[in-house]
Structure 1
Amino acid sequence: MEIKITQILPPKGFPWEGLLALAPHLLWVSVAIGLVAVIGPARIRYAFSQAKKLSFGGFELQLKSELEQAAASKNIAMDNFNLGTLERRLDRLRELFVTAHILWIDDNPAGNLSEMRILRSFGATIEIARSDESARTSLQRSIFDLVLSDMSRDGNPRAGALFLPEVKNSLFSPPIIFYVGNRSCSPDGAFGMTTRPDELLHLILDALERKVK
């Protein structure tokens, strides 16, 4: 006995299945059109602008919190005027951080976590070196836009100053900023020296601005 299997095709007609699959998307389009019609484009633009302000306001609070934590860890007082000045400058020059590659030399990087979070929140890439040898390897392997360094390291109170010539002789001779616990005379060849987190950020902006000019 011969058995034949015949495929039964659905009757041709309107493609309801395809239309049903698009229904959720069409619903959202209808809702969006309805909102524009009822609220108006001007009010919608205003709502988005307010959302942007709230978002930036939240970022300002986070930045202020990180700066205050950094200052408190170093027993430094910060006033609202200096904070406001720094916030405005950071916002105006934030694009400088996006491509910034920074080497931070410090045998105790845990003491600079707030400062690192601020820099990374703006898009900077930070590589940490805990010793001269580690920093030397990094400088031979990569190109840096800027070097941040402590002064006292591995029991030597002048370790940072002694390592400075190696930084200046590395690829493209990046500027070096000393971030120290106790202010002293800035070594010859250094871009700057500070004990304050707000001054550190200003110095970093100065160095990055000079680099692009």
Structure 2
Amino acid sequence: MLWVSSTLVALSRMSENRALGIEIEFREVERLLAKAVDNGDQETLEPQISGADRQAVIKRVDHAAAYLRGGRMLWVDDLPRNNIYLKELFRQLGMVVDSATSTGEAMACLDHHKYDLVISDIYRESDPQAGIKMLHEFRTRGISLPVIIHAARFDPTLGVDPMIFGGTNRIDEVVHYVIDVMERVPLRDA
């Protein structure tokens, strides 16, 4: 047990992750997470994440970085500035992150590129159901990608569409959900 504890301390003090050819500074991951939390839209009342939660994300990224590299996501949000640091975190980890501000833009992106997952908000412009309507459009077009909902107004007690892999208003949970999806991509493509 002492060995595990001292190993975790050593990992948390490392300055770079070079596992499997991925190089990203832990400090950079932490900086981007902190900026993502600080940058959250004040209207969304996105909860602060604790230092322990941030460290859990850093450790998870360390172990799963190879799954993220080469992945491609589409982020649909009418306020893209609220996600710039989280998008940059995924880009630093080797993912391609495309943005769309509407369902129409999202469909155009999906017509031209292959994605591993979609992150979307629910409430866009003046439509409180825009994200859900987008899922219906996916279904109509035969698009069956995992969707992560990142929105303050997501209430899973109202029911969850089967296309929704996960829903949250927390930055750290978005990272965990993305890793969860990307760890399954090799299984989905097999």
TM above 0.5: yes
* Structure 1 equivalent of residue 160 of structure 2: 187
| Aligned pairs, number | 161
Q: How does 1:37-116 map to 2 (within 5 A)?
A: 53-56=14-17, 59-74=25-40, 75-116=46-87
Among residues 100, 109, 115, which one is paired with 1:129 in the alignment? 100
1:143 corresponds to 2:109: no
Worse-matched range after superposition: 161-170 or 88-97: 161-170
Q: How does 1:148-187 map to 2 (within 5 A)?
A: 148-168=119-139, 170=141, 173-185=144-156, 187=160
The amino acid across from 2:182 in the alignment is L
Unaligned runs of 5+ in 1: 1-52
Q: Percent identity among equivalent residues?
A: 25
Report Cα offsets for 1:88-120 as digits up to 9, x if no partner.
111111011112111111111111001001000
CA distance in 2, matches of 1:212, 1:168: 23
1:204 corresponds to 2:175: no
Q: Which has the larger radius of gyration?
A: 1
* Higher fraction of strand: 2
With the length of structure 2 as denominator, give the TM-score of the two structures. Answer: 0.77
* Structure 2 equivalent of residue 21 of structure 1: none
Offset of residue 84 of structure 1: 1.6
With the length of structure 1 as denominator, give the TM-score of the two structures. Answer: 0.69
CA distance in 1, matches of 2:17, 2:113: 34
CA distance in 2, matches of 1:80, 1:139: 36
Unaligned runs of 5+ in 2: 1-13, 19-23, 41-45
User: Which structure carries more relative contact order (alpha carbon 8 Å, separation 6+)?
Assistant: 2
Worse-matched range after superposition: 120-129 or 92-101: 92-101
Contact preservation (8 Å) 1:179, 1:200:
yes
